[in-house]
Structures are given as C-alpha cells and as structure tokens.
Amino acid sequence: MNGRALAVGLMAAWLVVSGAAARELRVADTHPADYPTVQALQHMARLVGERSRGTLTIKVLHSQVMGDEYETIQHVRAGALDMARVNLTPLNSLVPETIVPSLPYVFRSAEHLHRVMDGPIGAEISKAIERHGFVALAYYDAGARSFYNSRHPITTPADLKGLRIRVQQSPVAEAMVRALGADAQPLPYGQVGIGLDAGVIDGAENNWTAYHASGHCRSARYYSPTEHTMAPEVLLISRKVWDELSAAEQVLLRQGAHHSVTTLRTLWPAHERAARDAMAGMGVQTSTVDHAAFAKVLRPVQDRLANTAVLKDLLRRTRATE
Ligand code: GTR
C-alpha cells in the first residue's frame, strides 16, 4: 500500500470510529420554539454538545412535530424516540406516583413545589418513573393551571356546571373537573384550539404562558385564575437509550438537565408576566375567583385520588413539607 492509500485508509477508519461515537438524541416538546421549556432544552443541547465536543448532541423537536404529548410518551417508552419533555399529568395512568404532584391544590406555592420535587419525594417519583421504561432527568415548573372558556366568567364552581372542559389525558384531570360539575373532555393539547373554534368544547385549563402561546386566548376569552393545579413538567429519556450510553455521557446529560432547570426557573416568571400583560390588550376578561369555594370542592378529591398506601404516604409527606 503506498503512502497515499494508507492515508486514505486511515482517514476512512477515523471517520467510521468518530461517526460511530457521535450520537444525536432527539427530544420532543409540544410547545413552540420561544416557549420557556423549549428554550431550556436548547440551553441543555448547547451545553451537552460543547462538553462532549460534538460526540453527543441533542436535537430539539418542538411544536408537536413528533406528535401529541401522549404519543411522545409511548414512543420514548418504546425507544423509538430518545427523549420528551412532557407534563406529569399524562403519566398518571402509567406511573401512579405522578398522581400526587398532579393533585389539585397540593402545592402551596412555587417554593413548596421546589422543596417537594427537588427533595426525597421528587427522587422517589423519579425512581417510580424509571420502573416504567424511562429515566426522569429534570422537573420543570409549569406555573399554576386555571380555567378559561368562551361562555362566561367563572368565579365559583357553580359557574362550571355543564361546561364542556377539555382536560389532559389523565384520570386525575377528569375526576377533578367532574367534581366541579363540568363535563370533562380528554383531548390532545393540539386539538384544543380547533375544539374551541368549532364549539365542540367550551373551555380548557392551563397556565397563562400556555394559554397565550397556544392562541387559545383568541377563542376562549374568559380566564379565571383558579390556580387549581401546579403539576410540573418532566424531561424523560428512554430507559433503552439511557442504558446504551456510556457513564460519561449519562453524567453529561444529567449535568445538562440540571442547568436546564435553572434556565427554566429564570425564564418562567418573565414569560408568565408577558403572557398575562398581553392578555389585557387582547380583550381577555379575567375574573375574580372564590378560591375557598374551589378548595372546598377540590381538597377532598386529593384523598379520594391518592387511594393506595404508597400514594397516601406521598401525599402526607408532601403536605408536611414546609
Ligand atoms: C402545558 C404543558 C404541556 C401539556 C399541556 C396540556 O402546560 O406544558 O406539556 O401538558 O399543558 O394541557 O396538554
């Protein structure tokens, strides 16, 4: 073999090795590019790409290009998609432990939520998630969810009677809305806008940021800050994919995820404020809510839905967390 042929051969071998070593992970998020969760994932992608010198990269697939949230959970579980940023509530059926942070009025404030999810309870929920084909890399704040509708202002639970309210695909979300006397309609997030426009549903519930980013505020102009749940988001990676990664790659991902939580917590308040401010100019009517009346109906739902010894214990410790 002459010198040139040797050099070409070596180059080809290097390409094969470096090609084999380089891995791209795809992460799905339902929200558009400028939404705080997507921004946090982009930040994580930059960090992991830099620190691995390009051998491990993350491609953020936002705006539902990978399907609705429930589908992405199934794909990640099967290993057909590497990662997904989803809300905890659609995981309720699969991982019962996620029910507790999804319960109405279970968190007293964002600080209480951080203490619960950053501490031993959050770690236990992550362990439970791992038993179902995922690894939970991070929990992100998602603000507080409130009702919005196209019919009338909601100030007490009685105002919800008979309204068709879209809920996330979860028995907890359904039970909660039914307890308030509304007709719970589980629907993928991507179909809520069409459902509102077509009059198939009267309303839904979400935080200010999603209400604005989704454009639901254009058809459902009554926003009622009931703030009934604060279910956080979770970044999932497929257990199958995780087990294929080296220990060093796993550390990089954990570090990147950790930084993305800080990014999210920094970005969230400003985005929420901006969404709220934008509403005033869009003719959204915000009602004054009788929180005590909502709590009276929804607090008993906590005990009804935390219906196993494990869930009762998680709920007791969540309540007891200062
Ligand atoms: C948003 C959340 C999404 C999705 C959506 C929904 O607040 O960020 O992941 O769960 O709510 O209502 O389906």
Distance 189 CA to ligand 1 centre (A): 7
Res 281: pLDDT: 87
Buried b (16+ CB within 10 A) or exposed e, 167-198: bbbbbbbbbbbebbebebbebbbeebbebbee
- Cβ pair 48, 57 in contact under 8 A: yes
Distance 252 CA to ligand 1 centre (A): 27
Distance 139 CA to ligand 1 centre (A): 14
Which residue's CA is the nearest one to ligand 1's atom 5?
A: 189
Which residue's CA is the nearest one to ligand 1's atom 1?
A: 210
Q: What is the SS3 assignment for 287-316? A: CCCCHHHHHHHHHHHHHHHCCCHHHHHHHH
* Residue 153, helix vs strand vs coil: coil
Res 280: pLDDT: 84
Tell me the average pLDDT across 49-55. Answer: 97
Which pLDDT band holds residue 49 (cuts at 50, 70, 90)?
A: very high
Q: Is 168 in the pocket of ligand 1 (CB under 6 A)?
A: yes
* Structure token pair of residue 3: 């010198």
The predicted-structure confidence for 207-258, as pLDDT tens digits, reads as follows: 999 999 999 999 999 999 999 999 999 999 999 999 999 999 999 999 999 9
* Structure token pair of residue 54: 């390009």
Is the pLDDT at 8 greater than 60? The verdict is no
Q: Which residues contact 247 (CB under 8 A, 6 or more apart)?
A: none
Pocket test for ligand 1, best of 233, 234, 267 (most atoms within 8 A of CB): 233
Which residue's CA is the nearest one to ligand 1's atom 10?
A: 87
Q: Is 30 in the pocket of ligand 1 (CB under 6 A)?
A: yes
Distance 205 CA to ligand 1 centre (A): 9
Which pLDDT band holds residue 3 (cuts at 50, 70, 90)?
A: very low
Q: Is 211 in the pocket of ligand 1 (CB under 6 A)?
A: no
Total-model pTM: 0.93
Strands 222-229, 145-149: pairing kind: antiparallel
Q: Which residues contact 318 (CB under 8 A, 6 or more apart)?
A: 100, 101, 106, 107, 116, 121
Structural element, H or E, at residue 182: none
The predicted-structure confidence for 217-230, as pLDDT tens digits, reads as follows: 999 999 999 999 99
The predicted-structure confidence for 309-319, as pLDDT tens digits, reads as follows: 999 999 999 99
Which pLDDT band holds residue 1 (cuts at 50, 70, 90)?
A: very low
- Cβ pair 129, 237 in contact under 8 A: no
Which residue's CA is the nearest one to ligand 1's atom 8?
A: 87
Is the pLDDT at 129 greater than 70? The verdict is yes
* Structure token pair of residue 112: 């209480």
Res 14: pLDDT: 36
Pocket test for ligand 1, best of 30, 92, 148 (most atoms within 8 A of CB): 30
Distance 280 CA to ligand 1 centre (A): 23
Q: Is 142 in the pocket of ligand 1 (CB under 6 A)?
A: yes
Q: Give the integer Cα–Cα distance in Å for 189 and 222.
A: 19
The predicted-structure confidence for 9-29, as pLDDT tens digits, reads as follows: 434 333 333 444 699 999 999
Q: Is 233 in the pocket of ligand 1 (CB under 6 A)?
A: yes
Distance 13 CA to ligand 1 centre (A): 46
Res 283: pLDDT: 92
Which pLDDT band holds residue 59 (cuts at 50, 70, 90)?
A: very high
Q: Which residue in this structure is represented by tokens 């080809």?
A: 12
Q: Which residue in this structure is represented by tokens 């993350």?
A: 58
Q: Which residues contact 116 (CB under 8 A, 6 or more apart)?
A: 101, 107, 122, 318, 321
DSSP 224: E
* Structure token pair of residue 159: 């105002």
The predicted-structure confidence for 159-218, as pLDDT tens digits, reads as follows: 999 999 999 999 999 999 999 999 999 999 999 999 999 999 999 999 999 999 999 999
| Helix intervals (H) in 22-168 | 36-51, 69-78, 99-102, 110-117, 120-130
Index of the ligand 1 atom closest to the CA of residue 143: 7
Index of the ligand 1 atom closest to the CA of residue 209: 7
* Total Cβ atoms within 10 A of residue 15: 10
Res 21: pLDDT: 67
- The percentage of residues in the chain with a pLDDT greater than 70, rounded to a whole number, is 93
Q: Is 92 in the pocket of ligand 1 (CB under 6 A)?
A: no
The predicted-structure confidence for 261-291, as pLDDT tens digits, reads as follows: 999 999 999 999 999 999 988 999 999 999 9
Q: Is 207 in the pocket of ligand 1 (CB under 6 A)?
A: yes
What residue type is 159 in one-letter code? Answer: D
